[in-house]
Structures are given as structure tokens and as C-alpha cells.
Structure 1
Amino acid sequence: MTPQDTSPLARGRVATRLPAQDLERARRFYSDKLGLEPVDERPGGLLYRCASGEFQLFRSAGASPGTFTQMSWQVDDIETVVSELRQRGVVFKEFELAAVYGGGRTRDGIAEVRGHYRGTGARGDRGAWFRDSEGNMLSIGQPVY
């Protein structure tokens, strides 16, 4: 038996929480740019659900540093998703990848990332990164088999 088998958290659902200094501005970004609408809301928070998870935007006085990926969506066709989001006004980052990820640069906003978790059966990822209206770094990934 592994610790994973006995952990009460292993049986829980993971849900991401992202800070928003301006919740209404964030709501507009997620609606207009990403095509997502909250499924529920409370004072100071918006709840979103996607195919296999959920995330919340919460009003926060703190700002996200936006220096690392805070949330990601896994998709089947990254080129189509990037193209559709660009048409909605999403700006994808262009940058050099660290050597640990295989080096190289993004091309047209999409990076080829070497390596993957063995249990997935993939040999790598294709990824694209952008910031939301609040500075949170978000990504889109597509496993490469």
C-alpha cells in the first residue's frame, strides 16, 4: 500500500483558485476572451466548471506574480484552440524554453516540450501560455503520443 492509497486528499477533487483584483474585469475576460461563464457565484467569487474540473476566481487585494503557470487546460488540438482564442483577442506569450524542457523557442505561441510523466503514455507536450486580465499565467497543453 502506498501513501497515495491512504491519503484522504487522494480521494478529493482538486479545484484551482485564482486571485482577481477586479472580479468584474476578470468575469469579462473569461467570458469575452475564453468563452466561459460562471456556473455559480457568491460575494467575492465566481465558480467555473470545465469538462473535468473546476476553478474559482476570488476577489483579492494581492496580485498574482504571473511568473509561473497557475492553471492549464489539456486539449486535443492546440492549434485550433490557440487560433480560436486569438480571434477572441487572447495574446499568447513568445519565449525561450528552459533547457530542462528541451530548450528552443515558442513558434507562433506554441512550444514543443520534451518529456512527460511516464504514466500518461505521452512522450512530450505542446504548450501555449497567456495571462488573464489579472496577471494569472494560464496555459493550454496537448500531449504528444
Structure 2
Amino acid sequence: MLKEREIMAVLPAVDMARASDFYGNVLGLDAPQVMDDENLLYHGGNGTHFLLYKTDNAGSAKNTQMGWETTDIDGEVADLRSRGVVFEDYDFPGLKTEEGIASTPVGKAAWFTDTEGNILNLFQRA
């Protein structure tokens, strides 16, 4: 049954107003559907969405929590940088970013964090 259902990412936030400002004013997402004071539902392309919920546990994950697929990672990175987004630089075995973008056999990727410490990324398939 689950294979036929939409998948929804769920992201934590300590400060809902700060996080909402980031997603709306910095990333340029449309205003969320307000579920209640502690839950905001953001809609993306092609029927996708994610839930932002209030919790003190935000920022504790050390892995990518959500990403967007793009066909123009260089343009998206440039646009987000112009809005104040800072991209992470990594230098791990098998993964090194150059000017915030890593090239891998499967595509290019770039990572940044939101105001709550969640690690987000952009990905462009090869």
C-alpha cells in the first residue's frame, strides 16, 4: 500500500517563526498551510510537500534531511547565495565540494542548513 502513497519529509524546528521566515523569505517557498501553532505544511512541485514541526530536538541530525532535485544546480546555488544562503564545504574521502558543489558519478550536489540546523541539499542528476 505504501508504494502508492506520496512521501512527505518531516523537519524539526525550535523557533517556528524564524524557520517560517527562512523558508518563505530566503528560499522563496509559498506560504505554508497552517495546521496549528506547531505544524506548518509546505507544498513543493509535483505534489510534494514537507511538514515543519516544533520541537526542541531540531538541529541534532548530522545527515541530509531533505533535498530538492534541480536541472540547474549552478543557477540555483547562485540564486540562493544572493538571498544569503551559505553553502557547506566538505572534504571527505570520496566527496569534496568546490565552491559549495560536489561532483559525483551520479550527479552534482550542494548542502546548506536552515535556521534550525537541518541539513538540506540540492541535487542535479548526471
Give the structure 1 partner of residue 87 of structure 2: 92
Q: Percent identity?
A: 37
* Correspondence for 1:127 among 92, 109, 114: 109
Amino acid across the alignment from 2:26:
K
1:17-57 CA-to-partner distances (Å, cap 9, x unmatched) read 10000000000111121011334112211111111210010
Deviation at 1:63, TM superposition (A): 2.4
* CA RMSD, Structure 1 to Structure 2 (Å): 1.2
Larger relative contact order, structure 1 or 2 (CA cutoff 8 Å, min sep 6) = 2
Amino acid across the alignment from 2:25:
D
The 3-state SS of whatever aligns with 1:106 is strand
CA distance in 1, matches of 2:26, 2:62: 21
Deviation at 1:136, TM superposition (A): 0.4
Unaligned runs of 5+ in 1: 1-7, 115-123
Amino acid across the alignment from 1:60:
T
- Of structures 1 and 2, the larger Rg is shown by 1
Amino acid across the alignment from 2:3:
A
TM-score, length of structure 1 as denominator length: 0.81
Give the structure 2 partner of residue 79 of structure 1: 74
1:88-131 CA-to-partner distances (Å, cap 9, x unmatched) read 00000001144xxxx252011000122xxxxxxxxx11000000
Deviation at 1:66, TM superposition (A): 3.9
Amino acid across the alignment from 1:15:
M
Unaligned runs of 5+ in 2: none
